[in-house]
Amino acid sequence: MDIAGLWRSLRTDSAEVPRPGVSRQTDPAGLSLTVSQFCEAPVPLVHRFVADHVTVTVTSNRPGQPGQVVMGGNFNSAGGNYQGPTWPIGDGQFTSTTSQVQASFVLIPIRWPYLGVYAQVTWQDGTPDSLAVTYVEIGCHPPIWWQWLIRIIAVTSRSFENKTSRGANAQK
């Protein structure tokens, strides 16, 4: 499923752009889609470097009705003029006893400030698929998470370069 295409097909105003808090769905009675986020330090005790831990929850509004759930995500620009390619987040099953499916992942920050998420449920009883899309602002400061790694690589590589060049000069 392509989130950008789904967004275009579900919006009522052709000028509307994806932004945090905007959600659209085909069948309001079929499913609920929620996205939660929290920031966590990938390196213990270094709290200024954080990653965004995201959990997507799809809840059936048709309890007891089996269906196959598929979820995906994409990155979006602040102005809505860019929606990135869709990538899989997870999948699962609604059963006669399970009416919720969750998938979690850690977001590696990039320059796009918004996350788009979709869910699709294919119902076993032949009811038309339920589709939903929602947009959230990425909760952690995107460029900060990986700057520590770049600094460590820069310092380490300079150290190796210096040792290598000293060793090469000593052999001459």
pLDDT in tens, 101-138: 999 998 866 678 899 999 999 999 999 999 999 999 88
What is the span of the domain harbouring residue 130?
3-142
Residue 65 lies in a domain: yes
Q: pLDDT > 70: what percent of the chain?
A: 73
CATH number at residue 117: 2.60.40.1470
Question: What does the radius of gyration of the chain's CA atoms come to, in whole angstroms?
Answer: 22
The burial class, CB within 10 Å (0-12 / 13-18 / 19+), for 71 is buried
Q: In this predicted model, what pLDDT tens digit does every residue of 40-59 receive, in sequence order?
A: 766 665 555 667 889 999 99
Per-residue confidence (pLDDT) for residue 36, from 0 to 100 = 94
The sheet that has 23-25: what strands, in order across it?
23-25, 130-137, 114-123, 67-76, 87-94
The Cα–Cα gap between 151 and 108 comes to: 17
pTM of the predicted structure, to 2 decimals: 0.75
Residue 79 lies in a domain: yes
Is it the case that residue 145 has pLDDT exceeding 80? no
Residue 154 lies in a domain: no
Contact 73, 89 (CB under 8 A): yes
Contact 105, 54 (CB under 8 A): yes
How many domains is the chain built from? 1
Least confident of 59-68, 122-131, 135-144, 163-172: 163-172
Q: In this predicted model, what pLDDT tens digit does every residue of 91-104 receive, in sequence order?
A: 999 999 999 999 99
Tell me the CB-side half-sphere exposure of residue 45, using CA atoms within 13 A. 0
